[in-house]
Structure 1
Amino acid sequence: MRRRARLASTWRPHLRGERHLRGLVARHAGGGRLVNAAWDEVWERRTLDAEKPLLAALLAADGLDTGFGDVREDAWREATARWVDELGLSEGDSVFEVGCGAGAFLYALREHGIRVSGIDRSSTLIGYARDVMPEATFAVADAADFDLGEQADIVVAFGVFMYFPELDYATGVLERMVAKARRAVAVIDVPDKAHEAEALARRIATVGGEDAYRERYAGLDHLYYDRAWFANAMSRAGIRGPLIADQWLKHYENGRSRFNAWGELSTT
């Protein structure tokens, strides 16, 4: 695995009092965890546009076709190729994605000869992933309760930690990802606490003001993370010398306030 922008060893956890839930919440029947019910409804309504090229359709189904995203296929493939490099992936290696949605990231990894699998809370999106990648294994499951039976070389979560209700929940998911992985873990597209105010201002401006924002996004809040807290949470979970870098996906408006975090397991 390549070592870019290594974190200073003096960083320490910095909790910001984010122990309260944001937005509408509900109990997940399986694990008794708190999850955001409003976001569940959004993802279950997603459709797969048969008129678009397949990767473009998957990106749209995964919510990357909005004014905050509008990610291009070439930029997506370029970012994926960099992840293949950063994570030291080779043809035949396996990647398991937590919160895979319709599978846009896994589909791009699959083009590199990577064996893919994943879970998501949305049965609708998992159905699309199964249709597009019938040889892969997908399951409807919560990020805190997915099966640990079969490990994967790399375990990733792309754009899903923002939907978690609180930091304790995120910590539990990190620990579970480490247990599932053989070599490394990557958490991609994490909302940066240092840029929360500007991210909110950008979203409000994009939809046409505060009233329009409240109407459109009532109960659909994101959880933001302090980079130092995230690095230490990864270290405590068993990831050696985690790396933190700005989101490098091009033509992605939200990327201005997001970061990526990844590292090898301490036992490798």
Structure 2
Amino acid sequence: MGNKWKEIWNRRKPVTGRLDGDWQEIFLELKRLNGYDIVEGGIPLASFLKFHKELKDLLHLTKGASLYDVGCGAGANLYLLARDGITVGGTDYAAPLVSIARRVLPKALELTCDEADAFDTTLKYDAVLSNSVFSYFPSEDFAERVLTRMLEKTTGAIGLIDLHDADKEEDFLAYRRATIPDYDERYKGLGKLFYRRSFFEGFARTHNLSIDFPAIEMEGYWNTPFVFNVFMYRK
């Protein structure tokens, strides 16, 4: 991943006390640390919980199952899954965020600090997830290496959330320029990788996987018009 993005994620820190409150406060703070900054008028808790339920259904997760999260950040998704009796593990390249994940997920099977294409695949999970991470990758070659490791890591489903849509790139840039002063200067060197669905269809074909592109609605999430989701399953 790009070094400038890595520098940014390594600077994320918790707000004092937010990791010691009730589970809702902890979860929202973990989401903030993962880039979903919780502000008035932003994504409400109910939207996150609805997304969580849909995600479990799409990944075929029930109590006693297991999930590995590539780019887990501070562990927000894993935190809710663990509360539901799911065994969890994950990896992220931002050491401070991994430390927070270890704090809130003491029973995780593994929480490592690695690049997304370098995590160990020895332990297997029922499903693997990557949420809002693939758009930070440097190239499709890197993304394919990550996908290959994800497939090796799971005996079941692969879920990819918030993939920036190549067909919506100009719309995305226009929106960002309209809402952020000096967007091009402020985000110089902090680009996104935009994907076509055919890239994932090709990977699924090569590995004999079924594939779906389900919409998951999240009220209050500004990025929704510019992204898509991919789920792949062993046949």
Both proteins in one fold, TM over 0.5: yes
Q: Write out per-residue CA displacement over residues 202-248 of structure 1, whole angstroms, 9 at most, x where no aligned residue.
A: 1111212xxx2123211111000011222222332x25220013342
**Equivalent-residue separation in structure 1 for 2:53 and 2:132 (angstroms):** 17
Of 66, 72, 76, the match for 2:48:
76
Query: Cα offset for 1:71?
Result: 2.7
Q: Is the 8 A contact 1:55 1:73 kept in 2?
A: no
**Unmatched tracts of structure 1, length 5 or more:** 1-34
2:28 equivalent to 1:56: yes
Q: Is the 8 A contact 1:189 1:247 kept in 2?
A: no
Of 127, 138, 142, the match for 1:169:
142
**Equivalent-residue separation in structure 2 for 1:90 and 1:135 (angstroms):** 18
- State the identity as a percent: 33
The aligned counterpart of 1:251 is: 220
- Give the aligned length: 227
Query: Cα offset for 1:146?
Result: 0.5
2:165 equivalent to 1:192: yes
Over 3 Å counting, the alpha-carbon distance change for 1:66 and 1:227 in structure 2 is farther
The aligned counterpart of 2:21 is: none
**Equivalent-residue separation in structure 2 for 1:121 and 1:40 (angstroms):** 7
Q: Is the 8 A contact 1:161 1:190 kept in 2?
A: yes
**Equivalent-residue separation in structure 2 for 1:138 and 1:72 (angstroms):** 28
**Superposition pairs of residues 44-123 of structure 1, within 5 angstroms:** 44-52=10-18, 53-65=25-37, 70-123=42-95
**Superposition pairs of residues 132-171 of structure 1, within 5 angstroms:** 132-136=104-108, 137-171=110-144
Give every structure 1 segment of 4 or more consecutive aligned residues whose post-TM-superposition deviation is greater than 4 Å.
none
Question: Taking CA–CA contacts closer than 8 Å with sequence separation of 6 or more, which of the two structures ends up with the larger relative contact order?
Answer: 1
Q: Secondary structure at the match of 1:246?
A: coil
**Equivalent-residue separation in structure 2 for 1:214 and 1:134 (angstroms):** 41
Query: Cα offset for 1:84?
Result: 0.9
Query: Cα offset for 1:112?
Result: 1.8
Could you tell me the TM-score, scaled by structure 1's length? 0.80
Q: Write out per-residue CA displacement over residues 33-74 of structure 1, whole angstroms, 9 at most, x where no aligned residue.
A: xx300000100110112344111110110011178x933222
